[in-house]
Amino acid sequence: MSFTKTCYDVRLEVSDGSITLYGSAKRQDGECNDTSINLDKFVIFNDNGSFSLREYGREVDASSQSAFDIYLNREFSGTWLIAVSSRSDPNFDELQKINLDHHIKNDNGYLKWVS
């Protein structure tokens, strides 16, 4: 199940060189839990202008250090992370999107990455 359907006050913060997704996630008992997931550290990076999934142990540039105009867009299809990503050729910066609902779930009040 996508996290969007069971999370409230979802927001994105970019600070100290990383992108973090925050929200209030519903637990099985019906109460909500404040939770977050750091997207740079665990899941996403900028691969020459494109968002990609991080491979375990691979050293890469953090998304927020090489992307700008980063924001969330909630649509019928889910919550999208959108950013203008820098490429090695600065004349070809691109708008990139990734549907976070395909990769993040609400696990009883906690945001968790799923492959």
Q: What is the CATH number of the domain that holds 47?
A: 2.30.60.10
Maximum separation of any 2 CA atoms in the chain, in Å: 51
The β-bridge relationship of strands 67-75 and 78-85 is antiparallel
- Of 48, 42, 49, 53, the C-alpha closest to 20 is 42
pLDDT tens digits for range 47-101 = 666 666 665 445 555 555 556 678 898 888 889 988 876 666 666 567 778 899 9
Query: Domains in the chain: how many in total?
Result: 1
Question: 115 versus 100: which is more confidently predicted?
Answer: 100
Q: What percent of the chain has pLDDT over 90?
A: 37
5's CB contacts (< 8 A; 6+ apart) are: none
Cα distance from N-terminal residue to C-terminal residue, the chain: 13
pTM beyond 0.85: the answer is: no
* Contacts of 114 by beta carbon, 8 Å cutoff, 6+ apart: 103, 104, 105
Domain that holds residue 71: 3-113
